[in-house]
Amino acid sequence: MYLASPYPTNPYSRQLIHAAKKLSSVVRCLNFSEPVTHVYNPLDYAWEPYEIYLTHFGNSQKKIIFLGMNPGPFGMVQCGIPFGEIGAVKDWMGIFAPVHKPAIENPKHPVQGFDCARSEVSGRRFWGLLRERFGVPEAFFADHFVVNYCPLAFFNHGKNLTPDKLSVAETLPLYAACDAHLRKIVAVLKPEWIIGVGAFAEERAKMALSGGPFSVRIGRILHPSPASPAANRDWTGKAIQQLLSLGI
């Protein structure tokens, strides 16, 4: 059975949905130059599954928020869910909803929605660990949540570009919007920990939350990307040890 998305009466979900819509509207107006050829905003064309995700799993305060970098080409780009390995989203979380097309589609990275047959390796590793540890999604999301720092995916034709590869002039307004969104999430969910999935996410969390009224602690685990040689050698074991070393 797949989850439906009625009008969210839960105050936590309602605030997260409002914050995500605001973030989407701000970043939609930003412009990016070469080497960026295409920009995808899953909070726009894949909003329906993301709204279900926020409605059903963002409905309470959390102890730990896992913070990713930005959408992967075969994950959130396709289904709207952070680290969105299709099998994990559809079969484990029970999320399945229409996904539309971006305004300008990259022919080298078409959006196929839940019909995408490619595996998002980072998502398979990340959600696979949590599925093994918690069994059912309700057990994980009772005290945890997962969100990406940046909602946009960037491409140089066939190449995926991460936000840290953009020019400083372009990242200033982008990071300002993403920082504000992260602060809103922390204010709503009141986590004890932000765990950056990778060094970029950890650093952005520190920048966004420094000097504010937040008592949240910030840590990091290794990013599960197959582009990382370290992640290709027992990423699960390393991530568990990093969490244990933080006392989590």
| Of residues 77 and 248, more confidently modeled | 77
What is the token pair recorded at 201?
A: 């996410």
Residue 81 CB burial class (10 angstroms; 0-12, 13-18, ≥19): buried
pLDDT for residue 123: 96
Residue 150 reports pLDDT greater than 70: yes
Secondary element (H or E) of residue 143? none
pLDDT for residue 7: 67
Burial 112-128 (b: 16+ CB within 10 A, else e): bbbebeeebbbbbbbbb
What is the token pair recorded at 90?
A: 């559809």
Residue 154 reports pLDDT greater than 80: yes
Sign of torsion, CA 72 73 79 84? negative
pLDDT for residue 8: 67
Q: What is the mean pLDDT of residues 122-148?
A: 97
pLDDT for residue 82: 98
pLDDT for residue 4: 75
Q: What is the mean pLDDT of residues 126-138?
A: 97
d(CA 191, CA 127): 20
Q: How many CB atoms lie within 10 A of CB 216?
A: 16
For 6-41, how does the pLDDT look when each residue is reduced to its tens digit (9 = 90+)? 666 799 999 999 999 999 999 999 999 999 999 999
At 191, phi and psi to the nearest 5? -75, 160
Cβ distance 218 to 90 under 8 Å?
no
Of the pLDDT bands very low, low, confident and very high (cuts 50, 70, 90), residue 89 is very high
For 188-219, how does the pLDDT look when each residue is reduced to its tens digit (9 = 90+)? 999 999 999 999 999 999 999 998 788 899 99
Q: Write down all domains in the chain, each with its CATH number in brackets.
A: 11-245 (3.40.470.10)
Average pLDDT, the chain: 95
Residue 1 reports pLDDT greater than 70: no
What is the end-to-end Cα distance of the chain in Å, rounded?
32
Report the side by side order of strands in the sheet with 193-197: 144-148, 64-68, 193-197, 217-221
Q: What is the pTM of this model?
A: 0.96
For 170-195, how does the pLDDT look when each residue is reduced to its tens digit (9 = 90+)? 999 999 999 999 999 999 999 999 99
Residue 65 reports pLDDT greater than 90: yes
Q: What is the mean pLDDT of residues 67-91?
A: 97
At 73, phi and psi to the nearest 5? -65, -25
Q: Which residues contact 8 (CB under 8 A, 6 or more apart)?
A: 14, 17, 54, 55, 59
Residue 104 reports pLDDT greater than 80: yes
Which residue carries 């936000």 as its tokens? Answer: 163
